[in-house]
Structure 1
């Protein structure tokens, strides 16, 4: 595996500038990514399906037509729960080994219309739950990349593509972004169409995407929203930033490296001049993580009812257990979990009064050793349930060098503002010379 980060292909915004300035072609961009894939894929195993010739064909078509659009010529990976017209969709499960065919999922169609080159499908855990695929972490292939957006996070981290779609139902995007040391945006719940995605829990499933730069996340956000791309504001002065540092009720699940990184993040912010306030979550929020689990189990049992009925023997023990839990869940318990979530959503803006975002852990710590599990989504569950935008911000590391990200939680519908804050925080976390 190539460990030279300086040889990574350009960022999406760099490619866009080079393509606009005719210093680069779409075929050049695809060629750089394919070279990286050829070098790293035997170790990382991020891809479920990829067709180099088809990628080159898309690039040649773009170059010959002089196509325009915010993502023109930019290589894109797609998590293998989203339908794509040119690749089968297998959802990480032997149930669909022959693949689901169909038109592009809404997000894929929007990206393609904006000019993106769909390189292929990246590995997902089984139906975006816990049972892992073969993907390894580019930062250390002996460690998990996280899940369920395993292949997407690994493909971006290793430079195989500048952008990749993922999704989140518990911690499926923020956690792998943290483990692999990249940026990841879980968009505001409901802001982007999930048509054409194999769903798990309609109250929780949320679109997201991964990149090596906050502006790359904004480029995709603007393309999907039909907005003209505008670069994020230049990094705000630290004294203008207001963060609510919140350990959350799940803090006992943090590991020593994760706790040290979180404390380091707060210290770096304070030393840089950020206005930092420590916030405590309301006592009434303590059951929210369990509420997320209840809703996820109840809805998964219904979303996968056909697979349960006809292909139960092909499902993993973990997924069968989740479905059984959902089938056993009383309607009253599900309704109570939903009511608790609604009440907390109404309180969230008040909790965030006076701060721009909450700073919370992305994961318990660095990526665990081994590929037979994908880590714990404990620090993402309540934010997925409540629906605000969340960003993993890389920049810190465990003593063994593995990345540990920090999660920013913003206000619903203010995804661009949160990305601008993430860019500023990344500068602070990555700065050398501060106490660590």
Structure 2
């Protein structure tokens, strides 16, 4: 196995036993990026000299100064402020902008001694507008999803073991599914968003991409994600005897053949392993959550992008102009109804989901669409983002064109560690027998 193919957990083990240096690892990743960048185009900014400079510094650190991510390479979505690198938001307004500051998540990674590779592509301001230049590594005629396009594609193509993304609608879970990798949207506000460009203050959540759940658990340690109960250890959760809910939700009519087949197959695999899978229908009030998500997004973005609108409207994508100008004609009364309606449903969903090991639900409408202009429909993600619950995309299935399709596991708020333990066990089964292996 080449160093660039290692997961974060595997790389750490090799650094610790002395069989691999951080510099050797970094050079292997840079060679992979150089070989594949023309096809995948996952990077907005990368400086090989700076990467090697970091690697040499990490190799010379005494063991007592190593951190929990010592030498592990991380890709950073280009809406997250990162010292020594531009942060441009895929916007002509911020072209070449290089604030000398780290976002809280990046500062945490530096303290953990991670190796910061570079900045990955995003749709403009992480909105759901036109996709960036990035292509799906499994079929370059298709989108990798968005808005965390480059982060997901880089991890899927072995250009980075882990990456930072964000989710306002479906910008972590959907690219995870389209690229056939694990994606984790933690509980809203469980990870600091200081220094991350805001789209919706009520919805934005920092997310993570990896090729195995162990790496997501490693990140959960670094970012101090803790449940109230003692978190289940990696190998403690047993599928046999566990109870899962299956929730198609109100947007199920949009599901394509690949997702329909994947959900049926996922439920059968769990049942075959001795789990009980109970199909549930959420109370009718939850049918309004996707609508309310849109209203909250409009209302928040109306405030967020007013500064850019005022000084550079002509450089702002029409979607964001429409937010500021309230083209949807959302009233303040409707805005309050959406805020309060979703808030009231959050504890109700927690109570429902708390009866199960996790809720199994679609991640996407279907396979990644052909073309790179449209990054895919987040219909199946909006509800969980609005409810602030943790979600993990579990890869393992594929659609009619051989492209990956994942399923989501959802848990109550602040049950992140529990959800990761369940996801590890479920992921092993889905990848072994679902037809797609990361």
Question: Which residue of structure 1 lines up, in the alignment, with residue 140 of structure 2?
Answer: 141
- Partners of 1:208 and 1:369 in 2: CA distance: 25
Question: Which residue of structure 2 lines up, in the alignment, with residue 22 of structure 1?
Answer: 18
Q: Verify the 8 A CA contact 1:215 1:232 in the aligned structure 2.
A: no
Question: Which residue of structure 2 lines up, in the alignment, with residue 171 of structure 1?
Answer: 170
More moved, 153-162 vs 8-17: 8-17
TM-score of the superposition, structure 1-length normalised? 0.95
Question: Which residue of structure 2 lines up, in the alignment, with residue 375 of structure 1?
Answer: 376
Task: Using the TM superposition, give the Cα deviation of residue 98 of structure 1 relative to its aligned residue in structure 2, in angstroms.
Answer: 2.3
Task: Using the TM superposition, give the Cα deviation of residue 237 of structure 1 relative to its aligned residue in structure 2, in angstroms.
Answer: 3.2
Q: What is the correspondence of 1:241-260 to structure 2 with a 5 Å cutoff?
A: 241-260=242-261
2:290 paired with 1:292: no
Question: Which residue of structure 2 lines up, in the alignment, with residue 186 of structure 1?
Answer: 185
Q: Verify the 8 A CA contact 1:297 1:326 in the aligned structure 2.
A: no
Q: Verify the 8 A CA contact 1:147 1:175 in the aligned structure 2.
A: yes
- Partners of 2:11 and 2:241 in 1: CA distance: 31
Q: Verify the 8 A CA contact 1:215 1:231 in the aligned structure 2.
A: no
Q: Name structure 2 gaps, 5 residues minimum.
A: none
- Partners of 1:116 and 1:433 in 2: CA distance: 33
Task: From the superposition, tell whether residues 7 and 43 of structure 1 become closer, same or farther in structure 2 (CA, over 3 Å).
Answer: farther
- Partners of 1:279 and 1:226 in 2: CA distance: 29
- Residue 351 of structure 1 aligns to a residue whose secondary structure is helix
- Partners of 1:377 and 1:59 in 2: CA distance: 37
Question: Which residue of structure 1 lines up, in the alignment, with residue 209 of structure 2?
Answer: 210
- Residue 406 of structure 1 aligns to a residue whose secondary structure is strand
Task: From the superposition, tell whether residues 416 and 304 of structure 1 become closer, same or farther in structure 2 (CA, over 3 Å).
Answer: same
Q: Verify the 8 A CA contact 2:143 2:371 in the aligned structure 1.
A: yes
* 1:368-389 CA-partner distances (Å, limit 9, x unpaired): 0100110000101010011011
More moved, 104-113 vs 409-418: 409-418
Q: Name structure 1 gaps, 5 residues minimum.
A: none
* 1:250-305 CA-partner distances (Å, limit 9, x unpaired): 10111112111111111121122222111111101111001000000110111010
More moved, 254-263 vs 346-355: 346-355
RMSD (Å), alpha carbons = 1.8
Task: Using the TM superposition, give the Cα deviation of residue 338 of structure 1 relative to its aligned residue in structure 2, in angstroms.
Answer: 0.6
From 16, 35, 46, the equivalent of 1:50 is 46
Task: Using the TM superposition, give the Cα deviation of residue 321 of structure 1 relative to its aligned residue in structure 2, in angstroms.
Answer: 3.0
Q: Verify the 8 A CA contact 1:188 1:413 in the aligned structure 2.
A: yes
Aligned length: 428
- Partners of 2:318 and 2:137 in 1: CA distance: 28
More moved, 64-73 vs 168-177: 64-73
Question: Which residue of structure 1 lines up, in the alignment, with residue 394 of structure 2?
Answer: 393
2:115 paired with 1:117: yes
More moved, 159-168 vs 59-68: 59-68
2:74 paired with 1:73: no
Q: What is the correspondence of 1:36-435 to structure 2 with a 5 Å cutoff?
A: 36-66=32-62, 67-130=65-128, 131-225=130-224, 232-234=233-235, 236-325=237-326, 328-432=329-433
- Partners of 1:385 and 1:97 in 2: CA distance: 31
